[in-house]
């Protein structure tokens, strides 16, 4: 039953988020802060790991004086190498994301179109099956709900 009405459940949550916009913005702000905090800690952990590996490789190879002159083997040199390794990793990640996002967008757009057509058809069939008295009662109920809701949205 949830799978059948998932589009209505999502629409209800979106409408609830729009009605309670101040709470929604506060929760989104806190979630974004938490997400960036976690990502920053993860980035620092990965950066420290790569930097330690690069320093160990520099000391393990025990490269000659000429190569040591070209590539600094001190802390700054390992940080530069770590930076370029991280830029390469993030660049590849953004490349894959750029290749994947259009496909997800097309799938989402198709699912949205199918849900719209299905719900529109269901609503038209339901409306055509109602008697004139039931149509009037439904219209009056919708107007009454909208009127009462206008007192709460200020």
Distance CA 81, CA 70 (A): 13
Q: 37-63, pLDDT tens digit by residue? A: 999 999 889 888 888 887 777 777 766
Give me the DSSP letters along 80-106: HHHHHHHHHHHHHHHHHHHHHHHHHHH
Q: For residue 131, give both structure tokens.
A: 């008697």
Burial of 97 (0-12, 13-18, 19+ CB in 10 A): exposed
At 31 the pLDDT is 96
Instruction: Quickly state the pLDDT bin for 8 (edges 50, 70, 90).
Output: confident
Q: Is the dihedral of CA 127, 131, 135, 137 positive or negative?
A: negative
């Amino acid at each position: 039953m949830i799978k059948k009405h998932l589009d209505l459940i999502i629409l209800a949550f979106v409408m609830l988020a729009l009605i309670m916009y101040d709470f929604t913005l506060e929760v989104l702000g806190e979630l974004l802060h938490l997400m960036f905090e976690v990502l920053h800690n993860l980035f620092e952990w990965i950066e420290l790991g790569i930097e330690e590996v690069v320093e160990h490789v520099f000391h393990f190879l025990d490269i000659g004086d000429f190569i040591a002159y070209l590539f600094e083997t001190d802390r700054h040199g390992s940080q530069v190498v770590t930076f370029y390794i991280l830029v390469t990793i993030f660049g590849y990640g953004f490349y894959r994301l750029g290749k994947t996002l259009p496909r997800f967008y097309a799938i989402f757009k198709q699912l949205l179109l199918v849900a719209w057509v299905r719900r529109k058809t269901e609503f038209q069939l339901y409306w055509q099956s109602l008697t004139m008295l039931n149509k009037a009662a439904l219209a009056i109920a919708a107007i009454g709900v909208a009127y009462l809701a206008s007192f709460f949205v200020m």
